[in-house]
Structure formats: structure tokens, C-alpha cells
Amino acid sequence: MVAVIKFGSSLRKTLSYNERKLSTGQAELLLAGGFPTDEGLLGFSAKMRRFQPLLDRNPHVQKNSAHVFLSFPPEEQLSNEKLQAIAMEYLDRIGFAGQPFLVYRHLDTHNSHLHIVTTHVKMRGKPINVHKIGDRLSNPARKAIEVEFGLIPAESRKTSNSFTYADLPFDWVEYGKEKTKHYITNVTGFLRARYAVGSFEEWNTLLAQFGITADRGSAGSRMAINGGLVYSFIDKGGARKGVPIKASDIFGEPTLKNLEVDFAKGRISKIARLEKSQQTMNAALAATNSTRTLHDRLAAKGLALIVSENRQANNPQYTIIDHRSKTVFSTEEIGLTPEQLENAQQLPQRAEATSRRLDGSRNFPSDGPTSSLSSIPATTLLLLGNLLHRAGPTSGSPDQHSVKKKKKKKGPHR
């Protein structure tokens, strides 16, 4: 079982997302805990009216919506009765006993999964402590429930280093085989929750592995000036297909404003995850003499080397995705140059290096050695430098204040 909790600022949006699934037959309502009538008779307004008094009791809690995902592997077919019991046990173990909640079983993927809508604002207005709830309460609850209900442990799914799209908590699809908005919602939510990404370019490289791209608009356009963002399907050559979807219309709102917050956190997370990826990359380069062998060696260790064409500079660009640590690195951050990859390792000609999906691993725990404080690698300093540069100059930096030289006092004339 996999358990994920997201806290948002709009319980109405969280509820609307699940109610739309319900209305289109892509979900069914399994439980309505703490509601005064049968769940089958409840409409959207009635459900919202149950939550609203709690939200009004403490308007200072900005993120008052709790959205819980419980996902199970495809081979684990569970009855509705068992899923109901699992949902109630999980909420009880993470401290949400007594809170009103709605449990939806979504039917739009190959595996069973639940969405639970609730709030952590209690009846008297005091919020439930959700600080580090994942490590502190959710993970122990998940493990205990796996034992109690005889479920397949999540750790047992991490024995293979090979990335397969079948392991995703949603079906990987191409344009025309799935509703665009629904698929983009699944992909962006999954990647934002799990991967450390430091820039918009890295975000787009990661999205491309799932057949999606994000577009900020051309320079000087109204969308670019207003900070807008749209998402589209793309084909294997990177060409956009279909009607773009506004980021603000997607559940979770992967807008530029929200992504910048993700990128800031990602740049910090990268520093601690760098050394293991460097060691794996360097070992693969040292032990290979062909591109195919390089890709195979990297994939076996959970890394994917992505080659994309930089049309303005007329040369290929390389990005490393480490699916073990869920991190996206540039070659510069890893400590390599494009020339090292292109020439020494005999990578494909530029005409072939357009947009390539390469498999890597996922859900592989990082168990490498920690960095030594006595010797900081240059690439780590680069990440730190990038982080400080994006944060802007400090108040005492030469960029803002000119340095005045102290005048020497002249002695008496003789």
C-alpha cells in the first residue's frame, strides 16, 4: 500500500475534483463518515455544508483541506468492505478520528486506489498537528495496516531497479486515448509530489518522459507577461498535440507561481542527493565504450540520460534523471560536459538526439554515503552558488552598496 497526504487551501476544489469523477462514473463513494444521512442521498452542496462550519471556526488555517491517497498494486483485488475498513483504520492511526470524511474509490486506473477528503480543523477550531505527519504517523500507520489486513508491503515493490510505466499509480497513455486534463492532472501531481526539480527547463524535461509539455508563451506575448502557463500532449518529436489546458484549471494548480516554490525546494534537496548520482554516472562512463551499453548501465542503476536538441545553440543538451532519489540534474551539476558525453562515449549524432524517452528506476531507496564536510566537491559548490544566486544578493553585498575606502589622515606639514 502507498499512502500520500496533500494539504490544500481549498477544500471546495478537492471535493469538486472527486465529485466530477463520481458524476462521470470514474469513481464511487464508499463512505461518508460523520455525515447525518446516507451517503447515497448527499449532493455536493450538502457535503460542503458539513465541512464549512469547521473551516469557519479557524480562518487562520490557510491549508485546511486534507486529501489522502491510498493506492494498492494491480494484483491486489480488494472488496469495497475491506477498503472501507482500511480507510477508517488509517484515519484513526494518523489522528483524524472524529473528523468528517468522504472516501471515494476511483475506477480510472488499472489498480485500486482511494481518495479521502477531510479537514484537519477540529470542531472547536483547533487544528490537528500535521507537522511531518508522513514520517511521524502515516508511514507507521501504513506498515501496521499492511500487517493487519495482509496487504502487499510497499517495500516489496522496490526490489527491481528497472523503471516500468506499469508501476505508476495511473495508466501511461498517448494523446487520443485518454482525456487530456485527467491525464495531465495525474502526471503533474505525481511528479510534483515526488521529484526534486530546480528549474522550468528541468520540469519540462521530466514532463516529456510522460508525453507532456508546459508552455509559458512566446516572449512578449500576453501569456508570458501575465505569468501564464498551459500544458499539452506532445508526440515523440516534441510537437504539441490537441488543445492546451490552463495550469490554473488543473487540480493541484501546477502554475508558474506554485512551481517556483517547488523549484526553490528542489534546489535545496538536490545538494543532499548529488553525490550518489555522481558516483553512479562516473562509474558507468568509466566502464562503457558504447552508447547502448552506457544507457543500459545507467538504467540498471536507476538513472536516465535524456538527450534533447537545443535548436538555438545547434547542439544537443543532456539531462540526468535519477529515479532512485527522484531528482533531475543538469550535466554541469553532475560535473560533466556535453563533450565528454558526446565524444568520449560515442553518443548518437545530433540529428538523432531530438527527444528520447529512456527507462530508469523508481522507488529505489538512496543508500549512498553522506558527503564529507571536510571536502566539498565543486559540483556541490555549483548547486550552492545557483541557490544563492537565485535568492538574490544580500543587503550587504557589493551589488547594492559601494565600498568606501578609508581616507588616510594627512600628517602636519613640515
More confident residue, 393 or 35: 35
Mean pLDDT, residues 282-291 taken together: 77
Q: 264, exposed or middle or buried, with CB in 10 Å at 0-12, 13-18, 19+? A: middle
More confident residue, 54 or 316: 54
CA distance 218 to 226: 12
pLDDT in tens, 190-208: 899 889 999 999 999 999 9
Answer for the pair 206, 191: CB distance below 8 angstroms, yes or no: yes
Mean pLDDT, residues 285-310 taken together: 78
pLDDT in tens, 140-168: 999 999 999 999 887 765 544 445 554 56
C-alpha cell at 152: 502487499
Q: Is pLDDT at 102 greater than 90 in this prediction?
A: yes
Structure confidence at residue 286 (pLDDT): 80
Structure confidence at residue 189 (pLDDT): 87
What domains are there in the chain, each with its CATH number? 2-158 (3.30.930), 165-258 (no CATH), 271-390 (no CATH)
Mean pLDDT, residues 27-53 taken together: 88
Q: Is pLDDT at 171 greater than 50 in this prediction?
A: yes
Structure confidence at residue 235 (pLDDT): 83
Q: Is pLDDT at 343 greater than 60 in this prediction?
A: no
Give me the helix-helix angle, 378-391 and 256-286, nearest 10°.
170
Mean pLDDT, residues 26-37 taken together: 90
Lowest mean per-residue pLDDT among 67-81, 225-239, 307-321, 359-373: 359-373
**Listed residue (139, 133, 152, 151) closest to 63, CA to CA:** 133
More confident residue, 187 or 368: 187
Structure confidence at residue 303 (pLDDT): 87
Structure confidence at residue 324 (pLDDT): 85
Structure confidence at residue 397 (pLDDT): 39
User: Using 50, 70 and 90 to split pLDDT, how confident is the model at 92?
Assistant: very high
Structure confidence at residue 359 (pLDDT): 38
Structure confidence at residue 411 (pLDDT): 52
CA distance 154 to 136: 17
- DSSP state string for 17-82: HHHHHHHTTSEEEEEEET-SS-GGG--HHHHHHHHHHHHHH-TT-S--EEEEEEE--TT----HHH
